[in-house]
Chains A and B, each alone.
Chain A
Amino acid sequence: MQKPAFPETIQLGHGSGGIMTRELLDQIVFSTFSNPFLDRKHDGSVLPTDGPVAISTDSFVVSPIFFQGGDIGDLAVNGTVNDVAMCGARPEYLSLSFILEEGLPTADFIRIAQSVRNAAEAAGVLIVTGDTKVVERGKGDKIFINTTGIGRVHPRADIALSNVRAGDRLLLSGPLAAHGMAILSKREGLQFESEISSDTACLNHMVLELLDCFGSQIHLLRDPTRGGLASVCSEIAQDSKLGIELWETALPVDAQVAAACEILGMDPLYVANEGVCCALVAPEIETAALEIMRRHPTGSRAVCVGSVQNAHQGKVIMKSSVGGNRIVTPLLGEQLPRIC
């Protein structure tokens, strides 16, 4: 007997736990993410591991769900993979939970599931467990995704705030603000000569090569997502009780992104990135580490953008492009566009 075609939209019944749920899982989820762990179709997965592991979890609620350069699916993989990598670990396994809103076009769900699979392949991680719930129309926003990532800590990694010291160099793997401005310009319907593309990408391959080469000379790794580079630097300065100096002229921002920031009244320093890593490293390895980063597509435009200092402890100072200094403060709430 031929199976009935899958409905065009997600219905409440797809989250009921009954036959419709089974159909959703079999026809979309399991077939997309098939691997030996998942194929056991158990309540959870038993994973082999040894030594210390890193774990990180994140929920993804971005709107719009599709944007230039990516969608909520690859974002959900890369975001968590990067968080695990920032712990100095090799991401290996991911959990994947969907909260779907009744009425989501099935084609959209399939497209997102496929981009989850592609991103997981690119990052070298397996989806080993998951969950799918459906909420009534109006109780969600099309699709929310939660992922949790697990990875073995690199044997030579020693990533800790307490390792940061005066003289450390702040290396940035790529240009700022692309993700946030891709989302915002889509929301605002802004047209540019070429559309701004999100930078969503996995950073683990680059980070692991850095750890292979330099081990404990990599003192701290962070990916400046929400709140941008300014917020990450402020946190590091406050928590380490050291000062951070940023050099405005060295900060890379693509021309289109800078233009969008000007038009929409945003400061790129506070805008989210999804494929950028900042590394605080011992000054002796600055040049060599930049060379390694530049070998990877996500780090091809890596630069040194600042340094750690004993002066102005707990604060981030920006040396402005016209030579003045200013304090960089963390973001309070949402960044609000200015009126004129």
Chain B
Amino acid sequence: MKHLSEYRDLEATRQVIGLIEKSATRPWKIMEICGGQTHSLVRNGILELLPENIQMIHGPGCPVCVTPVELIDRAVALMERGAVLCSFGDMIRVPGSRGSLLEAKSRGGDLRVLYSPLEAVKIARTNPDREVVFFAVGFETTAPANALSVLQARKESLSNYSILVSHVLVPPAMEGILDDPFCAIDAFLGAGHVCAIMGYWQYHPIAERFKVPIVVTGFEPLDLVQGIYRAVLQLEKGEHRVENQYARAVTEAGNQAAQQVIADVFEVADRNWRGIGKIPASGYALSNRYRAFDAEHKFDLAGEPGTPETGCMAGAILKGQQKPRECPHFATTCNPRNPLGAPMVSSEGACAAYYHFAHNP
């Protein structure tokens, strides 16, 4: 725990904020990719401590927020067909076109909230007469464990286990944001947990091509202000390198064993991002070798229709072009009780973070 208190140290954090103030001579826009970072920035009140010329833009790194409506609908359809649907906790309140997983549960569906996909494999083992589906949501961070669950199910010859894959990848999303002609982002804080798995070697070409500094950053207050400080220093000097603030967890090469498991089980595929649309080669699908464990293949879900959005400007929010407060629905017709879109639902969503921690009704 000492590691935590050190990175939540008031004096140390203030000192770094003082350094940012001294070094920032111009306004800079910095995007934190990861929803966990957004959450921490807001929760710890860091946004209001930063000097006015540093503007943080909240990126698309909330996996729950970018999971497309049609996949939630498919998960609901699986529950209606009698499958045991297993999910991480924050996915269950996100609205699809026919309600959320939690609502499907109250209509009689069997929903289990788990911390690990390996628990879902256990449920499949102990309930051989039931189909058990894990809703495999997430960025590169959750992919290794989700892949391991497939390997474990195959090892145990479980024919009643499958996963509904909604995996997305960070680098293509960054490129998508930077390719946008309206993009106004000067630098990125890289997502620390994603990089702990994947390393940061993939980010050098992005920094080079778009001339943006990328600082791989952790999640505690001191991590965040250090990441911002390093980004500001590069911007002020006109540099654009990849730096690693989160060296206590991240290496250039990342976790090789985890990457091997991912490469074995998944292949890169096009993905729909909620509010953003299709980004080529921006996610994972199960590779052909593991098709038997692919819920979409197994249950012929392709026919379940997707639905149009509700007036939520999730795309502009997730690309950092609009702040939650600039949305006409924010805290009026859209709130955590009645979310029009995913960024208001997940605790990591930018809108929910603003609503919970910084909203003045």
Q: Do A337 and B45 touch across chains, with their CB atoms under 8 A apart?
A: no
User: What is the 8 Å Cβ interface bit string for chain B, positions 321-356, against chain A (1 contact, 0 not)?
Assistant: 000000000000000110000000011100000011
Residues of A bordering B, CB below 8 Å: 188, 249, 255, 258-259, 262, 264-265, 315, 318, 320-327, 329, 332-333, 336-340
Known interface pairs A336-B89, A338-B90; A323-B10 also in contact (CB < 8 Å): yes
User: What is the 8 Å Cβ interface bit string for chain B, positions 297-323, against chain A (1 contact, 0 not)?
Assistant: 000000000000000000000000000
Known interface pairs A258-B1, A329-B356; A336-B44 also in contact (CB < 8 Å): no
Residues of B bordering A, CB below 8 Å: 1, 4, 8-10, 13-14, 36, 39, 42-49, 63-64, 88-93, 102, 113, 115, 137-139, 141-142, 193, 221-222, 336-337, 346-348, 355-360
Q: Do B92 and A336 touch across chains, with their CB atoms under 8 A apart?
A: yes
Residues of chain A within 8 A (CB-CB) of B45 are 318, 320, 322-326
Q: Do B13 and A323 touch across chains, with their CB atoms under 8 A apart?
A: yes
Q: Do B13 and A322 touch across chains, with their CB atoms under 8 A apart?
A: yes
Q: Do B4 and A333 touch across chains, with their CB atoms under 8 A apart?
A: no
Residues of chain A within 8 A (CB-CB) of B138 are 339-340
Residues of chain A within 8 A (CB-CB) of B4 are 258, 262
| Least distance between B108 CB and chain A CB atoms (Å) | 15
Q: Do A324 and B36 touch across chains, with their CB atoms under 8 A apart?
A: no
What's the Cα separation between A337 and B88 when bound, in Å?
Answer: 8
Q: Do A340 and B355 touch across chains, with their CB atoms under 8 A apart?
A: no
Q: Which residue of B lies closest to A188 (CB)?
A: B115
Q: Do B347 and A338 touch across chains, with their CB atoms under 8 A apart?
A: yes
Q: Do A337 and B90 touch across chains, with their CB atoms under 8 A apart?
A: yes
Describe A's contact surface by its main secondary structure.
loop
Which of the listed residues A188, A322, A327, A332 has the most CB atoms from chain B within 10 Å of its own CB?
Answer: A322
Which of the listed residues A262, A333, A339 has the most CB atoms from chain B within 10 Å of its own CB?
Answer: A339
What's the Cα separation between A325 and B358 when bound, in Å?
Answer: 8
Q: Do A329 and B355 touch across chains, with their CB atoms under 8 A apart?
A: yes
The residue from B43, B63, B89, B113 contacting A326, defined by CB atoms under 8 A apart: B43
Residues of chain A within 8 A (CB-CB) of B221 are 320-322
Q: Which residue of B lies closest to A325 (CB)?
A: B45
| Least distance between A13 CB and chain B CB atoms (Å) | 31
| Least distance between B59 CB and chain A CB atoms (Å) | 14
| Least distance between A5 CB and chain B CB atoms (Å) | 33
Task: Provide 8 A-B residue pairs closer than 8 Å at the C-beta atoms, listed in order of the A residue.
Answer: A264-B115, A321-B44, A321-B221, A322-B221, A327-B360, A338-B39, A338-B90, A340-B139
Residues of chain A within 8 A (CB-CB) of B8 are 321-322
Known interface pairs A264-B115, A327-B358; A336-B141 also in contact (CB < 8 Å): no
What's the Cα separation between A188 and B115 when bound, in Å?
Answer: 8
Known interface pairs A336-B89, A337-B89, A340-B36; A320-B43 also in contact (CB < 8 Å): yes
Residues of chain A within 8 A (CB-CB) of B46 are 322, 324
Q: Which residue of B lies closest to A312 (CB)?
A: B360
Residues of chain B within 8 A (CB-CB) of A322 are 8-10, 13-14, 44-46, 49, 221-222
Known interface pairs A264-B115, A323-B14, A327-B356; A340-B1 also in contact (CB < 8 Å): no
What's the Cα separation between A325 and B356 when bound, in Å?
Answer: 12
Residues of chain A within 8 A (CB-CB) of B141 are 340
Q: Do B93 and A336 touch across chains, with their CB atoms under 8 A apart?
A: yes
Known interface pairs A264-B115, A323-B49, A332-B337; A339-B358 also in contact (CB < 8 Å): no
Which of the listed residues A265, A321, A323 has the most CB atoms from chain B within 10 Å of its own CB?
Answer: A323
**Given pairs A326-B43, A327-B356, 6 additional interface contacts (CB within 8 A):** A321-B8, A323-B49, A329-B356, A332-B337, A338-B39, A338-B348
Q: Do A324 and B47 touch across chains, with their CB atoms under 8 A apart?
A: yes
Residues of chain A within 8 A (CB-CB) of B346 are 339
What's the Cα separation between A194 and B35 when bound, in Å?
Answer: 32
Residues of chain A within 8 A (CB-CB) of B139 are 340
Q: Which residue of B lies closest to A332 (CB)?
A: B336
What's the Cα separation between A258 and B346 when bound, in Å?
Answer: 22
What's the Cα separation between A188 and B44 when bound, in Å?
Answer: 28
Q: Do A339 and B90 touch across chains, with their CB atoms under 8 A apart?
A: yes
Residues of chain A within 8 A (CB-CB) of B92 are 336
The residue from A255, A258, A339 contacting B89, defined by CB atoms under 8 A apart: A339
| Least distance between B102 CB and chain A CB atoms (Å) | 8
Residues of chain A within 8 A (CB-CB) of B64 are 339
Residues of chain B within 8 A (CB-CB) of A326 are 42-45, 357-358
The residue from B48, B88, B90, B356 contacting A324, defined by CB atoms under 8 A apart: B48
Q: Which residue of A lies closest to B42 (CB)?
A: A326
Residues of chain B within 8 A (CB-CB) of A259 are 1
Q: Which residue of A lies closest to B64 (CB)?
A: A339
What's the Cα separation between A95 and B44 when bound, in Å?
Answer: 45
What's the Cα separation between A340 and B9 when bound, in Å?
Answer: 23
Residues of chain B within 8 A (CB-CB) of A338 are 36, 39, 89-90, 347-348
Q: Which residue of A lies closest to B88 (CB)?
A: A339
What's the Cα separation between A320 and B90 when bound, in Å?
Answer: 24
The residue from B1, B42, B115, B137 contacting A337, defined by CB atoms under 8 A apart: B115
Which of the listed residues A324, A332, A338 has the most CB atoms from chain B within 10 Å of its own CB?
Answer: A324
Residues of chain A within 8 A (CB-CB) of B113 are 336-337
Residues of chain B within 8 A (CB-CB) of A323 are 10, 13-14, 45, 49
Residues of chain B within 8 A (CB-CB) of A325 are 45, 48
The residue from A262, A324, A339 contacting B91, defined by CB atoms under 8 A apart: A339
Residues of chain A within 8 A (CB-CB) of B347 are 336, 338
Lowest 6 CB-CB distances: which A-B pairs, in order? A324-B45, A336-B89, A337-B89, A326-B357, A322-B221, A322-B13
What's the Cα separation between A162 and B355 when bound, in Å?
Answer: 29
Residues of chain B within 8 A (CB-CB) of A249 are 10
| Least distance between A71 CB and chain B CB atoms (Å) | 24
Residues of chain B within 8 A (CB-CB) of A321 are 8, 10, 44, 221
What's the Cα separation between A259 and B13 when bound, in Å?
Answer: 22
Residues of chain B within 8 A (CB-CB) of A333 are 93, 102
Q: Do B63 and A340 touch across chains, with their CB atoms under 8 A apart?
A: yes
Residues of chain A within 8 A (CB-CB) of B93 are 333, 336
Q: Do B49 and A340 touch across chains, with their CB atoms under 8 A apart?
A: no
Residues of chain B within 8 A (CB-CB) of A265 are 89
Q: Which residue of A lies closest to B142 (CB)?
A: A340
Residues of chain B within 8 A (CB-CB) of A188 are 115
Residues of chain A within 8 A (CB-CB) of B47 are 324
Which of the listed residues B9, B47, B88 has the most CB atoms from chain A within 10 Å of its own CB?
Answer: B88
What's the Cα separation between A323 and B193 when bound, in Å?
Answer: 25
Q: Do B44 and A320 touch across chains, with their CB atoms under 8 A apart?
A: yes
